[in-house]
Each structure stands twice: as structure tokens, then as C-alpha cells.
């Protein structure tokens, strides 16, 4: 079992990492504002600069979602439940939602599915990529809300 100090250090490190991803995700979203929503043609005809902004948006979304899922949320569960017992991730998410740390397991799973859709970027499915990117662009504040709720819950309990 990890010591509480190690778990806390992991949480602090994960929050710092998530803050960095969130900041860059916010910036890349602002750079995309004038180009959204995408169409199949606008994506096919996009300039290199626009593609770079889209790539940054996707990359930072993926990194934020991954950081939360692999480091922050499991560590918060371990810290607040005072347990490192193995259990399915969905059970941890449900418990975090019960504690008020996670605003919505359903939203979490929604973003995990978007992340998985974007991880399989096939040239022949441009329409699906456009749809997924438009949904992400529109809904990403809900991921931000999930992160901020978890961060603020932790900070309010340790009085940072």
C-alpha cells in the first residue's frame, strides 16, 4: 500500500500536469474559435496552421483525459477512501461521484469514448472525425468542469 504522503505527492503532481494541459487546451480552443464548427470540406482544405491548432486541441484533450484517468482520479480515490485495494475503475469512478469529487461518471465515460474515437484517426473516416471534433469542441467545458470539481474538492479538504 502506498503511503499517504506518496499518494498526496501524486495528486499534487497530477493537478500540476492537468493545469498545464488545461491551459494549453483553452488556448488552442480559442485559436479554433473562428474555424468551428468544422465541415468535411473545411477539414480537407485546412491550412497547416489550422491543422496544428486542431492537433494541439486533440493532443491536450487526450493528455488531460489520460492524466485524470491514470493519475488524478485513482489517487483521489485512494486518498479519500484510505485504500489501495484493487477494484474496477468504474467502481472507483462511481465512488468518487458519490463523494462529490467527480461531477458525473456518465460525462467521464462520454469523454473517454471521444478520446478513443480520436485515437483511431483513419483517413477514410473524415466525416466521423469532423463529427467527433465538433462534439468535443462544443462539449469540452464539461471535461474542464470534471477536472475543476476534483481539484477543488481536494484543495478544500486539505485547505490549500
What are the grid coordinates assigned to 55, written together? Answer: 492537433
pLDDT of residue 117: 86
Which domains does the chain show, CATH number per domain?
A: 4-158 (1.20.120)
Nearest in space to 29 (alpha carbons), one of 147, 118, 103, 134: 134
Name the pTM for this structure. 0.91
pLDDT of residue 160: 52
CB-count exposure of residue 120 (10 Å: 0-12, 13-18, 19+) = exposed
CB-count exposure of residue 91 (10 Å: 0-12, 13-18, 19+) = exposed
Each residue's pLDDT tens digit, 87-145: 999 999 999 999 999 999 999 999 999 998 888 765 568 888 899 999 999 999 999 99
Q: What does the alpha-carbon distance between residue 31 and residue 137 come to, in Å, rounded to a whole number?
A: 12
What are the grid coordinates assigned to 43, written together? Answer: 477539414
What are the grid coordinates assigned to 17, written together? Answer: 500536469
Amino acid at each position: 500500500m502506498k503511503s499517504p504522503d506518496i499518494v498526496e505527492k501524486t495528486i499534487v503532481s497530477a493537478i500540476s500536469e492537468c493545469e498545464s494541459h488545461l491551459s494549453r487546451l483553452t488556448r488552442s480552443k480559442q485559436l479554433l474559435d473562428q474555424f468551428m464548427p468544422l465541415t468535411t470540406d473545411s477539414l480537407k482544405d485546412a491550412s497547416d496552421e489550422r491543422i496544428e491548432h486542431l492537433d494541439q486541441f486533440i493532443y491536450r484533450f487526450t493528455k488531460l483525459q489520460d492524466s485524470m484517468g491514470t493519475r488524478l482520479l485513482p489517487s483521489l480515490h485512494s486518498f479519500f477512501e484510505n485504500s489501495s485495494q484493487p477494484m474496477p475503475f468504474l467502481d472507483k469512478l462511481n465512488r468518487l461521484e458519490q463523494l462529490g469529487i467527480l461531477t458525473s461518471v456518465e460525462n467521464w465515460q462520454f469523454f473517454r469514448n471521444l478520446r478513443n474515437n480520436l485515437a483511431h484517426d483513419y483517413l477514410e473516416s473524415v466525416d466521423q472525425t469532423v463529427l467527433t471534433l465538433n462534439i468535443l469542441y462544443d462539449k469540452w467545458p464539461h471535461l474542464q468542469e470534471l477536472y475543476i470539481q476534483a481539484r477543488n474538492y481536494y484543495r478544500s479538504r486539505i485547505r490549500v
